[in-house]
Amino acid sequence: MFSAFQPRWLRQDGNCVPATEQQWFDFSASAPAEVQAPAALLVAPTAPEAPPFVLDSTHAPVAGDGVVLRRSEKASRYRLSVGRDGVAVLTIPLRGSERQARQFLESQREWLDRARGRLAGLPRSAAVWTPGTSLLWRGEWCPIVRATEASPHVLVGADRFRVRQCDGDLRPTLEAHFRRIARIELPARTWELAAVTGVKVRNVAVRDQRTRWGSCSSSGTISLNWRLVQAQPFAADYIILHELMHRREMNHSERFWALVGEACPRWLEAERWLKTHGGALGL
């Protein structure tokens, strides 16, 4: 049978914390051809014509207000997600149909408009970083300041970074510094919190993830987004603790969220911070 529901923010099928707005629609191979979604979730379309689709199996380009329709062998339900760039992706289970996907999209048109509106209103970082540009560093908006010394350096908050020159785009150089710091600080903090919570971890990896803050594998490897070093420390700790709790519950059940709440009392505040500032961190 089919069932539609709206999950809590950041809920996802895998054990990870994504950085996109998402809606779900459960799928079962034995379902009848006609989708009967609950009336409370049916919303009249805001446009008379069906939205444009791009049939895609990997990474098809999207133009205008198009929606990428992507079929997945791993998906067990229809999933509608909106990235920070406003592009919507509708994932279809392997045995699902385009017609049912369109029906699900029509029922979620109002949600889609709201999600895009929220994302459009969130703060974003400048594409090019030069002296004077403000960026998020350690959770605060800090301007890039040219240091007054012979060799080229810039100041970001309380930290000093060496650059090749102070002219031009400093973003690649500064992000390289941020990644280096993340590879040192994030694993160290993870091992520290693992000891505090009594959770066993096999390995900690720092990655350049574009759609999630972190993930936990069944083998005990925790992967973290290097951009967490730019976030508020309590928000970064929440992501780490979220993944550590997956070592006890490899799901997003009520028991899992109870464990998260016990380990991280400020988790809702951290989620709100990440939701608001994720776009400024490139997610």
Taking only the tens place, the pLDDT of each residue in 105-151 is: 888 888 888 888 777 666 777 889 999 999 999 999 999 999 987 78
Does 127 fall in a domain? no
Residues 202 and 276 in one domain: yes
- Give me Rg for the CA atoms of the chain: 21
Q: Is 227 left (phi over 0), alpha (psi -120 to 50) or beta?
A: alpha
Instruction: Write the pLDDT tens digit of every residue in 67-93.
Output: 888 888 888 889 888 876 677 888 999
Compute the distance between CA of residue 29 and CA of residue 75 in angstroms, rounded to an integer: 12
Residues 165 and 76 in one domain: no
Query: What size, in residues, is the chain?
Result: 283
For the full predicted model, state whether its pTM sits above 0.85: no
Total number of domains in the chain:
3
Residues 61 and 149 in one domain: no
Contacts of 107 by beta carbon, 8 Å cutoff, 6+ apart: 4, 37, 41, 42, 43
Range of the domain at 50: 4-120
Residues 8 and 106 in one domain: yes
Residues 193 and 165 in one domain: no
139-148: list long-range contacts, CB under 8 Å, 24+ apart. 139/230, 139/231, 139/232, 139/233, 139/235, 139/273, 144/170, 144/174
Residues 160 and 237 in one domain: no
Residues 162 and 209 in one domain: no
Compute the distance between CA of residue 60 and CA of residue 114 in angstroms, rounded to an integer: 24
Does 32 fall in a domain? yes
